[in-house]
Chain A
């Protein structure tokens, strides 16, 4: 045991670790293993057959592609929102700050229905897009819109404290050394907030992959075009095809896991280059 951990003055290691493992088992590991066990009833061939089905592949493509695009949009605009909230004071700043969290609190179905109504070809916003022959609601574009809405707080809330931590003095030092605004951002600020931005991106991405409630209202759910993988899972469940449903779920889980792991690795690699 003593080789297993370094001696520490912090008490309660055994208790804390035991609790952590128990908790994670109950909440995460057991449900997930049940998923794997159920999907294993199909066998490897069956698993492969379900996953490589045209409709499943198309839905996975839609899910991951729209989630990725939404997360990228969130990373970019979330950074700007965080920047404004940290760097400037203006009347109503607290209200804007509170607005950012709203997507967390709103039932996702409400968000989906609201956005679908707004962006429908005859909706308040949709009509202007329709005038230019752009359909938003009931297309993958609509999915991106709703996923962007859902994921907004993640980037803002992870970047905000880190950005606030970048002292004004550091920027002043850079300016007095002759750096222009672009150089200050590129060489001083961005490297400092980049790990947080990546975390925010990963969170927003992960959240978007799992999103179901809001998407089904705006997606139109046309197979091969705007049908997301979670919807397919629900469809299979409704047909009592539990093994098929869990198989798609496991596939999603594996892809997500690999993606998040590589984002983590990227972060680990970049922070190793940095201060600690």
Chain B
């Protein structure tokens, strides 16, 4: 089921949580809402799920206005960061809940409930935990049960609010892949909220980057990383070095007061100047981290560190050590007007 959001606004007191949001979610896609905390991503998710109400704007499911329908009538599965399982019910009863509260006419028979709950539990690979209580499960298991519970009512849309936020790194990575596989199996239109860029880039079909209540960019994971639309996206997704025109003009070219944004792995290092725009720097720190080597340099007459990432291969052909005077030059960069930058540093 597709979702259309038009000119959506939401205000909490003086704080504008959502500022004129327009978004189209395709049927069957897995979409990530990515942004720092307080950017409005969770508010947007809650409004879609009917747990909050927008001040103005339109929300359509498959072309139909759903504003008048509350959460229980929207047929939306919601998964919470802290699981929100029913503590006094067994895992089985938790998953069966959505089926048991159906109106008498639609309520499946007991045998039917039993069958579909066990089906869901084997889908999340936790059938053997049916008789346990949530308190006896690990975080990862709880979240999978929460997902099974949400899927029990056969929702047309699945909403996940920082689903892996409360889990440790290892479990998180595992569940991420698992969620992707599950989505490929079920093809439910899904939106998940996260502040973890790696998670968004790895799992989602498309990523919506949000900041301060507005959408900064919508695109595939590759697009938002390789071609960030705004300085914010540049800084939020991946690392970036800033070169201000006041300090080093050649890269910002004709723009008067501007900033060049350069990814650490887009910088060339050489012992001889590559061309007349090269910048002379001194190597301060060399650190090998797994497959990459991170080099920190400082330009002459500056105190700001510039971060450079080299592949180990590249590093081995021309080793560097602290104290070396070298030249750097970006292979690829993007220039933004300086006014934008100031706004950014306030963020």
A residues touching B (Cβ–Cβ < 8 Å)?
Answer: 167, 169-170, 172-180, 183, 187-188, 191-192, 273-276
Contacts and interface: CB of A to CB of B under 8 A. Distances in A.
A191 B149 CA distance: 19
Nearest to A186: B101
Interface residues of B, number: 33
B315 interface: no
B86 A188 contact: yes
A267 to B, nearest CB: 13
A175 B70 contact: yes
Q: Which 6 interchain pairs have the tightest Cβ spacing?
A: A177-B98, A169-B84, A179-B101, A176-B78, A173-B84, A191-B88
Contacts of A175: 51, 70-72
Contacts, number: 79
Interface of B is mostly: loop
A176 B49 contact: yes
Contact of A172 (B51, B86, B101): B51
B101 A173 contact: no
Contacts of A172: 51, 71, 78, 80, 84
A172 B83 CA distance: 11
B231 interface: no
Interface of B: 49-51, 70-78, 80, 82, 84-89, 97-98, 100-102, 133-135, 146, 149-150, 152-153
A275 B80 contact: no
Contacts of A167: 82, 84
Given A179-B72, A187-B97, A275 B84 contact: no
Nearest to B136: A275
A114 B133 CA distance: 50
Contacts of B51: 172, 175-176
A191 B74 CA distance: 26
Contacts of B84: 167, 169-170, 172-173
Given A178-B98, A276-B135, 6 more contacts: A174-B86, A175-B70, A176-B49, A176-B76, A178-B102, A187-B97
A176 B87 contact: no
B133 A177 contact: no
5 contacts: A167-B84, A170-B85, A172-B78, A175-B72, A273-B88
Contacts of B70: 175
Contacts of A273: 88
